[in-house]
Amino acid sequence: MPFLNSIKRKYWGQAVLWVALIYATLYPVRPLCEFLKRTTPFALLTNVLLVTLLAGMTAAVVRAAKFKKFSSYFLMLLTVMVYLYGLNSLDFPEEKIHFFEYGVLAYLVFRALRIDFSEGVSYPAAFAVCSLLGWVDEGIQEIPPNRYYQLSDVVLNSVSSALGLFLIYVFRRERLKSF
């Protein structure tokens, strides 16, 4: 059991560090983004960076996964299309970044929960935890003078978490247990 406890600490530690990074950057990100908007084509750079990141991650995963089921490729493509739609629909670069942040968080939380719980429990529990953390994220934004609470961002964080969990499902249905 010591091995499992060390893995559990590692996985939960990574999830907590990711949340701490998200929360710690809430205040400084707005002035930084405002500066970048004034001095660079920030919206374009954000789109190029995120689309490149999405394409690179998709290519690496598809190459490594070697799916056996055609439906897995279809589901992967569908998820990528939803991410691209989200990137195109969101107006602010900060929201686009959050769209990815909470997908990563969903993976980290799911992986930590999966040590102690079945998949049937881990998916909804990870969604609930990530949605709650996204709501807390927005609540924290009510405090600094340069940020504000938006219910639509809570929904965005939850949708991003759901997309991340859906990707995990696609890989796990192929028996790729590392996801």
Asked if residue 178 belongs to a domain, the reply is no
Whether the CB-CB separation of 119 and 172 falls below 8 Å is answered with: yes
Question: Model confidence at 30, in pLDDT bands (50, 70, 90)?
Answer: confident
Could you give the CA distance from residue 30 to residue 135 in angstroms, rounded to a whole number?
A: 18
Asked if residue 179 belongs to a domain, the reply is no
Number of domains in the chain: 1
What is the structure's pLDDT at 4?
66
| pLDDT tens digits for range 131-179 | 999 999 989 888 877 777 888 889 999 999 999 999 888 888 776 555 5
Could you give the CA distance from residue 23 to residue 88 in angstroms, rounded to a whole number?
A: 25
Give the torsion through C-alpha atoms of 10, 15, 16, 17, to 10 deg.
90
Query: What does DSSP assign to residue 34?
Result: H
Asked if residue 124 belongs to a domain, the reply is yes
Question: Model confidence at 114, in pLDDT bands (50, 70, 90)?
Answer: very high
23: containing domain: 2-173
Asked if residue 128 belongs to a domain, the reply is yes
Which stretches within the chain are classed as H helix?
2-24, 26-39, 42-65, 70-89, 93-114, 119-140, 151-173
